[in-house]
């Protein structure tokens, strides 16, 4: 009877596991992120207008403020990933991030509603008092609100996409037996690839709604409502996410990944004078020790960065009498390879930094350009300047929709790959297309500035230049197409090549590249402003006298160099090798990925 009861309990547990995860969790996970992205885009898309027209900040100061804010929002995900992978888990980290974001949004609503938190409006009378810049107290409230939203982003950005892929990591056992280990892995990888496309597609839908509905309300109704609607959306996102709690696969955190990386580095340094054995089988394995952080398979030894192999050499005193190793003196091969994987990823990862730098000021300079152009759609309706980004978002959505339905089937005929092209090729295409977008922006700005000069508006930046704002559409559309390739490919690469226990950290690396790119954007703009002061003044409040087109050409050249750098990094990249358990014959089976996935074969449904 006892064995029967145990068997029933086991069957009940298996049924519970089968009921969790999969695409049925997507409405709750993506519903949360849609509301979050709607809130983010809703107050971020038009913030340059709020800063310059409501708080009366100079253009460069306002642009750098937004760039630094974007950099901070992309830097805090490192903290969120550390918390999620170390002790909190992804679910609770997402909840904490949502709460912080909600507090920041409420702060912005209050600052927009209370007149005491904004400077007095500018006088429209000739010879009236000059516009008074926001005081330190007023800016302090703004900074505190933005800081809360940045902390909220730290909990959301690295965890939502990784939490979504967690729902597809485990294939039901009966399905594995039917398909075989390799086929089941391909099926899981294919679902993950579809999930990444779905993730970025739904985010684009949310941004599209924000830059149309919310921006229109901000420009025509009021900033209180314009910030209030995204705040309500953020609250709805929290409720939607919590409702799906019983359906989620919630993986246990495997301990701080940064601690493990530090332990490997410390152990390798302590044994820097110890000779590395020629036979790698002598290195310490410790399979039981790595069980929690290698549920999908252990990383195999590679011949790169062999200095770190010293951390896995057992020497007297490394293992206690009870059999437990001192992890600051001895690491397993799997943990050594975790650090190697991260180091190998860094060069290709860093190619995304320049992409973020190139786009860091598009949301400010381009909006100011649009504000000086003819924005009439009909005789009585003008498109808000911040809503021009709908063309980039729409292009990205169309590209993502056509990617699976048109591009992949066509590419599959040529390459023979289930995914059409590898994520390396997808990233490379995105980087190349983005160069065309920045070049198009330079050409349009040259033309806009020429029309302003022809009509005598060089010293009248507030005048509407008789040059249609829809000339900006090509650059937005090209950037949207580039994002559909580069952003998705970048995220796929980081998630697939990161160690299993560091998936949140991998997503954080995606946002860290954006963070560094934004800060470099601030450095680049500041450097250009100082270098051209008195010699043309490329970047100034009067953009008709400025030379933003020259700035765009500078960025175009940097993007060309970045593409060359990426191609070199790809040429010398080595894929991570993984050891997978074969349930058919109950022994370990090696799956060497270094030459298979990179060239598009093997188990790489992701690539």
Share of the chain above pLDDT 70, in %: 86
Supply the pLDDT for residue 254: 67
Whether residues 96 and 163 share a domain: the answer is yes
For residue 275, the enclosing domain spans 259-296+303-336
Bigger pLDDT: 318 vs 587: 318
Supply the pLDDT for residue 184: 60
pLDDT(181) > 80 = no
Whether residues 404 and 548 share a domain: the answer is yes
Give the mean model confidence (pLDDT) for residues 454-461.
Answer: 81
Residue 13 lies in a domain: no
Q: Which of 282, 311, 336 is the last residue of a domain?
A: 336
Whether residues 28 and 76 share a domain: the answer is yes
Whether residues 358 and 222 share a domain: the answer is no
Supply the pLDDT for residue 607: 32
Query: Residue 553 — very low, low, confident or very high, per pLDDT cuts 50/70/90?
Result: very high
* Domain harbouring 525, CATH code: 1.20.1250.20
360 CB-contact burial (10 Å; exposed 0-12 / middle 13-18 / buried 19+) = buried
Give the mean model confidence (pLDDT) for residues 207-234.
Answer: 81
Supply the pLDDT for residue 269: 92
Asked if 219 contacts 49 with a C-beta cutoff of 8 angstroms, the reply is yes
**Total domains in the fold of the chain:** 3
Please write the tens of the pLDDT for every residue from 293-325: 776 778 888 888 889 999 999 888 888 877 888
Asked if 433 contacts 482 with a C-beta cutoff of 8 angstroms, the reply is yes
Please write the tens of the pLDDT for every residue from 359-414: 766 667 888 888 888 888 887 888 878 778 888 888 988 998 888 888 888 988 88
Whether residues 211 and 265 share a domain: the answer is no
Residue 281 lies in a domain: yes
Supply the pLDDT for residue 34: 77
Query: Residue 605 — very low, low, confident or very high, per pLDDT cuts 50/70/90?
Result: very low
Residue 203 structure tokens: 């985010």
Residue 236 lies in a domain: yes
Whether residues 166 and 263 share a domain: the answer is no
Please write the tens of the pLDDT for every residue from 73-128: 777 888 888 888 778 888 889 999 889 988 988 988 888 888 888 887 776 655 55
Whether residues 417 and 515 share a domain: the answer is yes
Residue 242 structure tokens: 């919590």
Bigger pLDDT: 2 vs 208: 208
Whether residues 113 and 195 share a domain: the answer is yes
Q: What is the DSSP letter of 469?
A: G
Query: Residue 174 — very low, low, confident or very high, per pLDDT cuts 50/70/90?
Result: very low
Bigger pLDDT: 122 vs 453: 453
Q: How many CB atoms lie within 10 A of CB 270?
A: 16
Please write the tens of the pLDDT for every residue from 255-269: 677 788 889 999 999
Q: Which of 285, 319, 336 is the last residue of a domain?
A: 336
Length of the chain equals 607
> What DSSP line would sit under 308-349, residue for residue?
GGGGG---TTSB-TTS-B-TTT---HHHHHHHHHHHHHHHHH
pLDDT(1) > 60 = no
Query: Residue 496 — very low, low, confident or very high, per pLDDT cuts 50/70/90?
Result: confident
Residue 599 lies in a domain: no
Share of the chain above pLDDT 90, in %: 11
Q: How many CB atoms lie within 10 A of CB 392?
A: 28
Q: Which of 285, 313, 336 is the last residue of a domain?
A: 336
Query: Residue 567 — very low, low, confident or very high, per pLDDT cuts 50/70/90?
Result: very high
Strands 578-582 and 298-299: antiparallel
Residue 3 lies in a domain: no
Give the mean model confidence (pLDDT) for residues 452-479.
Answer: 86
What are residue 581's DSSP bridge partners? Answer: 588
* Lowest-confidence pick of 41-55, 439-453, 496-510, 576-590: 576-590
Q: How many CB atoms lie within 10 A of CB 523?
A: 13
Cα 29 to Cα 37, 54, 82, 206, 241: the distances in Å are 12, 36, 21, 14, 6
Residue 175 lies in a domain: no
Give the mean model confidence (pLDDT) for residues 132-160.
Answer: 85
Supply the pLDDT for residue 362: 64
pLDDT(172) > 70 = no
pLDDT(581) > 70 = no
Whether residues 316 and 421 share a domain: the answer is no
* Lowest-confidence pick of 134-148, 476-490, 579-593: 579-593
DSSP H or E segment with residue 591: strand 587-591
Give the mean model confidence (pLDDT) for residues 16-34.
Answer: 73
Query: Residue 427 — very low, low, confident or very high, per pLDDT cuts 50/70/90?
Result: very high
pLDDT(160) > 60 = yes
Give the mean model confidence (pLDDT) for residues 562-582.
Answer: 82
What's the mean per-residue pLDDT of the chain? 79
Residue 222 lies in a domain: yes
Q: Among 7-11, 396-400, 461-465, 586-590, which range has the highest average pLDDT?
A: 396-400
pLDDT(358) > 80 = no
Whether residues 445 and 528 share a domain: the answer is yes
Helices (H), 416-472: 423-454
Whether residues 208 and 250 share a domain: the answer is yes
Residue 588 lies in a domain: no
Supply the pLDDT for residue 170: 55
| Angstrom distance (rounded) from CA 32 to CA 93 | 13
Supply the pLDDT for residue 19: 66
Whether residues 324 and 418 share a domain: the answer is no
Bigger pLDDT: 386 vs 247: 247
Supply the pLDDT for residue 584: 44
Q: How many CB atoms lie within 10 A of CB 565?
A: 16
């Amino acid at each position: 009877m006892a064995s029967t009861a145990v068997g029933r309990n086991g069957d009940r547990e298996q049924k519970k596991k089968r009921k969790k995860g999969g695409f049925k969790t997507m409405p709750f996970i993506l519903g949360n992120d849609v509301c979050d992205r709607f809130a983010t885009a809703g107050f971020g898309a038009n913030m340059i207008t709020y800063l310059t027209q409501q708080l009366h900040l100079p253009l460069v100061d306002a642009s750098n403020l937004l760039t630094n804010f974007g950099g901070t929002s992309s830097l805090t995900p490192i903290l969120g990933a550390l918390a999620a992978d170390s002790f909190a888990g992804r679910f609770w980290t997402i909840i904490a991030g949502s709460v912080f974001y909600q507090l920041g949004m409420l702060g912005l609503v209050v600052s927009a509603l209370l007149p005491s938190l904004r400077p007095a409006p500018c006088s429209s009378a000739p010879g009236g008092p000059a516009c008074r810049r926001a005081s330190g107290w007023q800016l302090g409230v703004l900074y505190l609100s933005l800081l809360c939203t940045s902390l909220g982003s730290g909990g959301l950005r690295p965890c939502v996409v990784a939490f979504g892929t967690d729902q597809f990591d485990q294939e039901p056992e009966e399905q594995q037996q039917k398909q075989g280990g390799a086929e089941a892995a391909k099926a899981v990888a294919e679902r993950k690839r579809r999930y990444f496309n779905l993730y970025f597609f739904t985010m684009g839908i949310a941004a599209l709604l924000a830059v149309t509905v919310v921006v229109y309300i901000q420009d025509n109704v009021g900033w209180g409502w314009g910030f209030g609607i995204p705040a309500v959306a953020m609250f709805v996102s929290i409720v939607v996410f919590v409702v799906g709690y019983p359906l989620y696969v919630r993986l246990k955190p495997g301990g701080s990944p940064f601690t493990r990386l530090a332990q490997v580095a410390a152990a390798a340094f302590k044994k820097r004078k110890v000779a590395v054995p020629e036979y790698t089988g002598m290195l310490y394995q410790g399979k039981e020790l790595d069980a929690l952080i290698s549920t999908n398979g252990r990383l195999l030894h590679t011949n790169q960065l062999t200095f770190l192999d010293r951390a896995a050499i057992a020497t007297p005193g490394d293992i206690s009498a009870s059999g437990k190793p001192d992890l600051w003196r001895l690491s397993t091969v799997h943990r050594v390879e975790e650090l190697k994987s991260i180091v190998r990823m860094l060069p290709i990862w860093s190619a995304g930094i320049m992409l973020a730098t190139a786009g860091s000021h598009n949301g400010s300079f381009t909006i100011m350009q649009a504000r000086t152009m003819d924005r009439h759609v009909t005789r009585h309706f003008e498109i808000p300047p911040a809503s021009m980004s709908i063309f980039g978002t729409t292009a990205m959505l169309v590209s993502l929709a056509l990617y699976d339905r048109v591009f992949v089937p066509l590419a599959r005929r040529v390459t023979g790959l289930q995914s059409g092209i590898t994520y390396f090729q997808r990233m490379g295409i995105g980087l190349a297309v983005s160069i065309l977008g920045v070049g198009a922006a330079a050409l349009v700005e040259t033309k806009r500035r020429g029309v302003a000069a022809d009509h005598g508006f060089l010293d009248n930046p507030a005048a509407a230049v008789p040059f249609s704002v829809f000339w900006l559409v090509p650059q937005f559309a090209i950037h949207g197409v580039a994002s559909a390739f580069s952003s998705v490919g970048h995220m796929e690469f980081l998630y697939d090549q990161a160690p299993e226990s560091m998936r949140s950290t991998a997503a954080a690396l995606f946002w860290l590249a954006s963070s560094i790119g934004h800060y470099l954007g601030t450095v680049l703009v500041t450097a250009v402003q100082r270098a051209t002061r008195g010699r043309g003044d490329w970047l100034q409040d009067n953009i008709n006298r400025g030379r933003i087109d020259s700035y765009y050409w500078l960025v175009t050249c940097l993007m060309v160099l970045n593409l060359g750098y990426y191609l070199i990094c790809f040429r010398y990249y080595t894929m991570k090798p993984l050891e997978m358990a074969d349930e058919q014959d109950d022994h370990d089976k090696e799956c060497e990925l270094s030459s298979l996935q990179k060239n598009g074969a093997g188990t790489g449904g992701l690539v």
